[in-house]
Structure 1
Amino acid sequence: MPDTGTAATAAEPFDLKAHIRGVPDFPKPGILFYDICTLLRDGPAFRAAIRQLADLVRPHAPTALAGIESRGFVLAAPLALELGIGFILLRKPGKLPGATIGYNYALEYGTDRLEIQADAVKRGDRVVLLDDLLATGGTMAAGIHLLKEAGAEVPLAAAMIELGFLGGRARLDAPFAALVSYDS
């Protein structure tokens, strides 16, 4: 597909924040939800985001990317294609066929679980973990733990958005980077 020239290249920054919509009081009163759907449906903005993520991830020399269900899939799959490497799914329980490895983790009010297919990684694979957003860090920390338990090295965890005021990166057992950050 030819490049229309409407999205910025690595040498010319593209303002992703201009394409992310803030939705007040979602999913409950008092929460400001950062919606990437507006960015995803704008072709040039989506392409710019994937290119910026590629620039962020490429120096870590991953052999595969892993995405956290479900918005992490939306970013990790096209990014894996851009980088010419494989894509691994981290899913909720019972969603993956075959043998799986799982990890239970605590949430603010309860627990959750992520699973990966038992044969998805080989010992020593370099897997970068992606999600759309890092908030308090619980799900991303669980994903890093699960990938390491499966035998992968995790040279980087990344997201399109970081809610820096929630301190999620402090919970991660891997370096972290985001394309945009909101500090309040």
Structure 2
Amino acid sequence: MSSSPTPSEREKADAELKAKEAAEQATLPYKWTQTIKDVDVTIPIPGNFKGRDLDVNFTKMTIKAGIKGEEPIIKGEFPNPIHTDESTWTLETVPSGKEIVIHLDKVNKMEWWPHVVTTAPAIDVSKITPEDSKLGDLDSETRAMVEKMMYDQQQKSMGKPTSDEQKKNDILKQFQEQHPEMDFSNAKIG
């Protein structure tokens, strides 16, 4: 019978995985970061290039970026679609030369990407700690969903019914009141 790993073993395994991921990501010819809403890719290039020397294209599911006439620095399929109208690229001057900065707007704003292109090494998205956000930062639909989840979690922790369970109870109670002739003693809500 195998025992589950101790907290220190889990911590060591997590640290090893994180180091392996960091080493794999460091070998990429670009750097990338993400929030739950978007992905930013930074590609360092020599300082003598101008915007017209670059070939940067992205579609809903693909990207190709690099210097015209050379092998693309990044090329491949996204793990998930982007909004092309909301995604942009710029050429910026930095102390070490220049960088192509690509901003990709995710279609699904509730999903972390394991990589920018599917051929690149993946990161473990389950280990991502999201940045702090305020409920006021969310759109009304997402905010309502988060508030409902928070309420349901609070209700469960107090041993009370969730909003969905309460709704079912209310419907059953209303039906019982409308039909007093029926026996509901063995009724189960599922």
Pairwise same-fold verdict (TM > 0.5): no
Higher-Rg structure is: 2
TM-score range, shorter chain: under 0.3
TM-score by length of 1: 0.24
What TM-score, normalized to structure 2?
0.24
